[in-house]
Structure 1
Amino acid sequence: MIWTYFIIFLLAAIPFFEVAMIVPVAIIGGIPAVPVIVIAFLGNLLTVGLVIVFIDWVRNWRRKKKASDEKSESKGHQRAKKIWGKYGLAGLAFIGPFFVGSHVTAILAVSFGGTRSKTSVLMTASIAFWAILLGSAAYFGFDFLVKDKDGFGFITRLLNQ
């Protein structure tokens, strides 16, 4: 089981997998919900924290990449700017991870003018919020849909009507 939790930690730390994908998949896969939520939260938080700490290096890397690509802004970046303009740092921190991922959200939040400390606090709260919300939805939703004394729950009841 330790290897399973280690893999959950690593996958949650990888951009675009994060808590939004790993938590529901792991819980639906039968791994206990509370440890999954905590471990995925810590994995995602570790790398988001590193992004915020090393934001200057990330910005320079992004500028070089953007200069070589010479493309216009991505849809995700445009969406993030729109959220920033409408809801500010807190809105971007809480809504952004669902659309563009928590790592990109952290980069954009600091790039758009959020301080490192405020961004860190709000991203921590956001990651915890999404981990708990999606973990609870996966746990209780899966129980509602599948688990029953005969093993099929709501699906069986729906088909038998």
Structure 2
Amino acid sequence: MLELLWAYVLVFILSAVPFFEAIIITPLAIVAGLSPVPVFILAVVGNLLTVYAVIVFIEKIRSWRKEKDGEGKRASRAKQLWTKYGLPGLSLLGPFFVGSHLTAFLSLIFGGTKKRVTMWMTISISAWSLVLGILAYFGIDWFNMDNKFLEQIFNQQ
């Protein structure tokens, strides 16, 4: 029971970490055998908490980022998405190309308001996590997989 609790805590923590995030952790945790609804909730909440922190503390992050020289490869990809599709496009596509935290940061840098960036990032992270979680859940069921992944890991002690 304690191992299962730790697995859910790990879902929450990893989803809050940049570049792991909810869109990756949700399907992985479901494939690993965790219950889809708590995984979805914990992953989305964990991811959104740190994305909201980026949005709230944008001024401090912006001053810290100015110390770094040049524009990176990820930022230039995000700029292309922003130019072509605007805030909705960057918010929906950015998490796959640059990560949700950098997407939120760059959306604000490129001219998005905190309110709109918060709304679009919430929609994006929630929707992608839900879609990928559903695909992972039904993919396991469709392939008739007997998923004992977590039991194997915890029984190897």
TM-score, length basis structure 1: 0.85
Q: Which residue in the other structure is 1:60 paired with?
A: 63
| Residue 44 of structure 1 pairs with residue 47 of structure 2 | yes
Structure scoring higher RCO (CA < 8 A, sep ≥ 6) equals 2
Q: Which residue in the other structure is 1:4 paired with?
A: 7
Which amino acid is the alignment partner of residue 29 of structure 1? A
Question: How far apart in 2 are the matches of 1:51 and 1:3?
Answer: 26
Q: Which residue in the other structure is 1:137 paired with?
A: 135
Instruction: State the Cα RMSD in Å.
Output: 1.3
State which of 111, 119, 122 in structure 1 corresponds to 2:120.
122
**Consecutive unaligned residues in structure 1, runs of 5 or more:** 153-161
SS in 1 for 2:111: coil
**Consecutive unaligned residues in structure 2, runs of 5 or more:** 148-157
SS in 2 for 1:15: coil
Larger Rg: 1
Q: Percent identity?
A: 50
The runs of at least 4 consecutive aligned structure 1 residues that moved more than 6 Å come to none
Which amino acid is the alignment partner of residue 46 of structure 2? G
Question: How far apart in 1 are the matches of 2:72 and 2:143?
Answer: 37
Which amino acid is the alignment partner of residue 53 of structure 1? V
TM-score, length basis structure 2: 0.87
